[in-house]
Amino acid sequence: MDEATGISARIAGILRAAGLNQEKAAACLHVSQPAVSRYLKGQIPPATVLLKLAGLGNTSVEWIMVGEADPEAETPMVREGGDVYGAEKEALWRLWQNIPPQFRPHLRQLMAEMARQS
């Protein structure tokens, strides 16, 4: 697997885990759908998009780029940052909007119970 194929596979994995198709991913990343398509075909995204993808996947830009993280790094994972988590919040919001209204109270209750147990 060449470098570009590995990067695009890791990006695809992040989007799949987040439940995002290309159109929804584009909205979360603040890019066009054709740009997302190009990233999935091997074009390397700009740094700002890589940072948003890392936040969305709770991983590091390094992992997206090379498939491994530096174990010596102080902050190997993207854990904080204003706009980075905007993409994650936006992804969750889009998922929430697709849930039928009659299921939302049950889902809120389940989430509250899970939060209490953690």
Q: Dihedral angle at the C-alpha atoms of 56, 52, 6, 2, nearest 10 degrees? A: 180
Show the tokens assigned to 105: 């109270």
- Could you give the C-alpha distances from 81 to 55, 59, 84, in angstroms and in order? 8, 13, 5
pLDDT in the model for residue 100: 83
- 98: confidence class by pLDDT, cuts 50, 70, 90: confident
Residue ranges covered by each domain of the chain: 3-117
CATH superfamily of 3-117: lambda repressor-like DNA-binding domains (1.10.260.40)
- Which is more confident, 108 or 11? 11
Three-point CA angle 74, 70, 43, nearest 5°: 115
Mean pLDDT of the 35-43 span = 96
